[in-house]
Amino acid sequence: MRNIRLIARLDVKAPNLVKGVQFEGLRKLGDPNEFAERYYLEGIDEIYYEDIVASLYERNNILEIVAQTTRNIFVPVTVGGGLRTVEDVAAVLRAGADKVAINTGAIKSPEIITEISRRFGSQCMVLSIQAKKNHDDWEAFYDNGRERSGLDVIEWARRGQNLGAGEIILTSVDQEGTGTGLDIDLVRAVTDVVDIPVVASGGLGNPDHLVDVINYGNADAVAIATALHYQQFSLREFREKCLKEHISVRVPPN
């Protein structure tokens, strides 16, 4: 059996949890720790923090938030945003994270993927790809969907795996924050060419979207943000929908 992971994605602009649409028009939602703790108690499978200003201003305010979160939360925590060196990664892991998600840093110097994977293990190295549709294919962007890399997403995913990434978190910039469904073609195009797990992110608005990206996109895990943050749906509703559709998920203790 292979169980699909449900991951709460928390975009952070320290000290607040924020949410935008296509990474724009960020709204402050409150203390990220309170949200993370609620999701943990409701049985979330993993927590994913993205420091969404770190890349722009090259700073790392998220360490404090991670340190506080991981005192009370005992599920895997992934942290991304502004990590460029092995030392940056070591600091985040020391603060309590289990994995790091690297986007800008990997585009600017792909060898960082190999370095992180060798030093901390590939299970720690998550390649974060922000994909924007461009006619019939997708281009990888960085700095929260603002900057073009010129890299084809499918090629970049394959190369990331070869360089040592243990997992890919794939965000559709077009769908991000819209709640209108994930880019299933994008997810399918990537899961078709890599052997490592792919986390689908961006656009998940309801439990039907979750079922679709698993059944048609072959996603291994799904990141949920808006739908949980605004309490449009509970984690339990997502799980129950999966089980009803014969999709295996973890059933947390009551």
Partner 1 sequence: MAEVTVIESKIANLGSLVRAFETIGVTVEVSKDPRVICKARRLVLPGVGAFAAGMDELKKNELNFVLGDVVAKGTPLLGICLGMQLLLDSSEENGVTRGLGLIQGKVIKIPSVNTFGVRERKVPHIGWSAIFPSSKKQGWECSSLSTTDSGDFFYFVHSYRVSLANPKDSSAECDYSGVAITAALSKNNITGLQFHPERSGPKGLEILRAFARSDSID
- Sketch the per residue contact string, 63 through 82, with partner 1: x for CB under 8 A, - otherwise: -------xxx-xxx------
Q: Rank residues 75 and 151 by Cβ distance to partner 1 and give the closer one.
A: 75
98 binds partner 1 (CB under 8 A): yes
- Sketch the per residue contact string, 109 through 128, with partner 1: x for CB under 8 A, - otherwise: -----------xxxxx----
As separate numbers, helices (DSSP H) first and strands (DSSP E) second, the chain gives: 11, 12
Number of residues that bind partner 1 (CB under 8 A): 35
137-141, long-range: CB < 8 A, 24+ apart: 138/186, 138/189, 140/107, 141/173
139 binds partner 1 (CB under 8 A): no
160 binds partner 1 (CB under 8 A): no
> In the Cβ-directed half-sphere of 150, how many Cα atoms lie within 13 Å?
1
- Sketch the per residue contact string, 215 through 244, with partner 1: x for CB under 8 A, - otherwise: -----xx-----------------------
Q: Do the Cβ atoms of 196 and 165 come closer than 8 Å?
A: yes
Q: Do the Cβ atoms of 107 and 159 come closer than 8 Å?
A: no
> In the Cβ-directed half-sphere of 163, how many Cα atoms lie within 13 Å?
22
CB of 11 to partner 1, least distance (A): 22
Task: Using CB under 8 A, list all residues that contact partner 1.
Answer: 1-5, 40, 43, 45, 70-72, 74-76, 93-96, 98, 120-124, 166-167, 195-197, 220-221, 250-253
